[in-house]
Chains A and B, each alone.
Chain A
């Protein structure tokens, strides 16, 4: 039970760049990293006489996200102009949505890190991105690159339903996972395809009102969001306890200093002068439209976790690791259809396969492994053809060469000696050389057996099937 006098109330505003082929209002490529100012046209440059036309795929993606978040997708929605001056905004207005956003009143179940709650989603809307500004160190100029201008952005705003920095972190990871499942964005904060601003205020513990709000910007990772919130909560609490008055302001997170600072520009409340976008007629969604979109949604993360537990008997923690990447969850399910002992598939994925991905720095789909070939490898181990240890090496060799497991086992002559004949001779040899240990075993020392098994493994360079070796030794020793 916290003894803090004040408790934080947090709301998060996330901007997600949709990974459509083209920008939201024009046919320019929507790619990351193109050379400056080569991915533009009269529309996304806002040149005189240009007009916007909405990208059908962007609209569908936005509606799907709304549905995935349990929102009510409006049957009638429109765009509005948000008017303000800034050099990265070519028209000096942004086409966004104001009073009739695409989707509203949803929720995101947030689970993990000791958190299990529902955060209400206030609204989801579609808008265009601005260009990029660079501020070179020297000189009194800034530079503008309009490649990103006009990229489709989804703005997802939560209600102030988050009550700790850790919850904020879990919310963000859960939201990112959901969006990756729906397949609309990479959600990569480093590339800027996911951005997050946070609002935080403090209120006396146990009350229900909202205190003076601070808007936090410039966090480049989920960890930074958490750290910035922690800093702000400490700062605001300290100020309140010292009897200071807080002001509504925007503060920037400084990653180097690990602190927030107030924005230097004068704090005039923006008057965006919103009005309906005259160049875009409104859009409608019928129940039938929404049904089609709903059916296109994949099974969402939390539902999938539950199903993995109930269908495959996995523990919640194991299921959570598997579904943390949609690719891995899909891979697991395919494997589970090919091999009955699904838990083994799970363990191989969570263990050796994941280790290979980390070592090579690649994702699962870049690894070059198919569910069928993994299952083939697992069978070889389970059938005793190779040991578990050898199996891990075979995996590495499969990924290096692209060859199948059986072929590699053959080429490297890794098949375990299981035949009683071949192994039996070696067992006899070992017993001869280790008379004392053999005697220890006959006296009742169990561990002596394992030592002898180890000796068999050594003399066969690991090729012996340890179970078979153990059995043979026991037989000889007790006969």
Chain B
């Protein structure tokens, strides 16, 4: 380390603890403020000799310790009973006794760390390897077995010659002048630094990318993410066609799906009878399905007047005499089997829904061709309702 010729301080070495205590006393009594004593180990009674005030370190510790405790307890309360409340073994969400150990640990952790960091950085201003005293003959001695005193040049009543003779009067066996260290300066945008910047950026982002998008989807992290089981619409390598979903063997009957006996017949001689009653629930269902599947062609009120009119052979109205004479079973047959242009809706509409649609169509038909009697009935209904 290059040194300037600016004086930093005058340092003197002594041999015994007694001497140094004495020296410290004298220097302090002479009213020096910026002086220091360097000893290889703490010499007892030095505080008094140097007239030092007791250390304030304890307050940092206290402050951080308490805040640690409070923080830990509050955080656990929030996490366990507000943000993520879970029933655990029937315990209450805020299980105070169970939170004590963690609280204690956090307290101690914060207290100790704050103490040490406070000590080293704020009180000592460490790390500080450019301090002029370092790397001097003086320092070598005090860190071995000598005891040293130093008076800094920035002391208000510092005067090199005075200090020197003070030390000699104290029988210091060697007095040494310590000079300031030359300050090195670093320009900011030197290419070296920019390279470093770039490298760091690339490495961090590279690792982030790798971890988030590659590593976390590699074994073993992806175990259970990819399941051996085959869910709906999944591919299976077992079958040559790779369809995970199979179709049933022809001629078999799944429970609840006895094949429709009259499929394929255009005018079946006999048909099924309607199992559903026109209850409100059924009719609502029927309406829903009718509007979804039938109305695009037959129109919302089954008049055969949908926007498709003219683009196809016109879809018939369901209010024709013929349509009204159809048995329920026949309408069901048509939905199931299809008729002329109309294709089968068996796959889109379940059996129950088909019967519901049939019932709904009946409602439409009756509404379209209402008789006075119906109106009377309705009024009766209204009157009953009003009563």
Do A and B come from the same complex?
A: no
Chain B residues engaging chain A, CB cutoff 8 angstroms: none
